[in-house]
Amino acid sequence: MPDEMVSVREVFNLDSDLKVAAFREADEHVPEVDPAYRFNHDVTLAILAAFTRNRRMLLQGLHGTGKSTHIEQVAARLNWPCVRVNLDGHISRLDLVGRDTVVLKDGKQITEFQEGIVPWAIQRPVALILDEYDAGRPDVMFVIQRLLERDGKLTLLDQNRVLDVHPGFRLFATANTVGLGNLNGMYHGVQRLNHAQIDRWNIVAALNHPPAEDEIGIVLARVPELDDAAGRKLVASMVSVAKLTRDGFRVGDLSTLMSPRTVITWAENIGIFGDAGKAFQLSFVNKCDEAEQPLIAEYFQRCFDRELEAPRTSGYLPAEPHPAAAFAVAAG
């Protein structure tokens, strides 16, 4: 169990005298500290409550706003072991609870039960993050339902086993929606969630697009090469473009918006391609419907006071003779 109390003022820069439980030593499952991560005040308090008071927490918000990393980075600072399972795509009930597998022992084939991630995690002081919780398949949601229902126990039905839940086990989930389905058309594959299940999360917090000042700070923390007067001005313009795409999305002019993750990628790509317009094309514009690209170019023009150059369609390089041809001549 946690073996020390740490001050949130010292560890997270929070303006509070609160002390929270933490581990003195980090084991192999503690995420690495990302010194550039900037914590959101309210979300940090909620996550800390979930850790310290053993509350199950759901963190909801648009994509790329830092939900998964937020929980992970709090765990990193508390030395709390933490594992993430992404529920989108192909995770099945058996991946979570475990399955019988055939193994070789002393030259003989035997069938052995291989524990899944859920029984493994609940028996340890581990924070389990169910990422993309609203994309989980129905059979997966059924397992989670049992996990949420438990009071101190989890029954493995197929195994006829009842597992005690470790007092240091913590459960988190992240989701793009609040379980009402794909209302804005952005989140293909999300499910509508059973409200009896939503009801069982003790804390539901939200993390959405930060105010411009904060977003600029986040980008500069991620891409410190831009942290001078000119760079700050550049990033401020980038964040204004991002805001225009979000406003455009809200009123239905655009079907794609720039997430904070996209703004960070754009900033990184400027370092690679040397030009904000070119990097913008490659980080965002090409992800958008062609019919919407003129409007996005206009947003760029408004914030940068220059036109967004259209990508060249000509410009193929002359072909070189294939190296194999030279080899054939030499060998011949």
Ligand X SMILES: Nc1ncnc2c1ncn2[C@@H]1O[C@H](COP(=O)(O)OP(=O)(O)O)[C@@H](O)[C@H]1O
Smaller CB separation from ligand X, 34 or 158: 34
Pairing of strands 161-164, 4-7: unpaired
Residues 206 and 157: their CA atoms lie apart, in Å, by 34
Q: Does 93 bind ligand X (CB under 6 A)?
A: no
Q: Tell me if 68 contacts Mg ion by CB under 5 A.
A: yes
Q: What is the largest CA-CA distance in the chain?
A: 81
Residue 237 touching ligand X (CB under 6 A): no
Helices (H) and strands (E) in the chain, counts: 13, 11
Closest CA to 192 of 183, 203, 181: 181
| Smallest gap from residue 89 Cβ to ligand X (A) | 15
The number of beta carbons lying within 10 Å of the beta carbon of residue 67 is: 27
Q: Which of 65, 79, 177, 245 binds ligand X (CB under 6 A)?
A: 65
Minimum Å gap between C-beta 138 and ligand X is 23
Token pair listed for 327: 């080899």
Q: Pick one of Mg ion, ligand X, none as the site partner of residue 276 (Cβ within 5 to 8 A by kind).
A: none
What's the order of all strands across the beta sheet hosting 127-131? 82-86, 127-131, 170-175, 57-60, 203-206
Radius of gyration of the chain (CA): 25
Can you tell me which of 38, 84, 170, 243 binds ligand X, judged by CB under 6 A?
38
Q: Which stretch binds Mg ion (CB under 5 A): 26-34, 63-71, 250-258, 260-268?
A: 63-71
Site string for ligand X, 264-303 (x = CB under 6 A): x---------------------------------------
Token look-up 């190296």 returns: 323
69 binds Mg ion (CB under 5 A): no
Contacts to ligand X by CB under 6 A:
36-38, 61, 63-69, 174, 218, 221-222, 260-261, 264
Contacts to Mg ion by CB under 5 A:
68
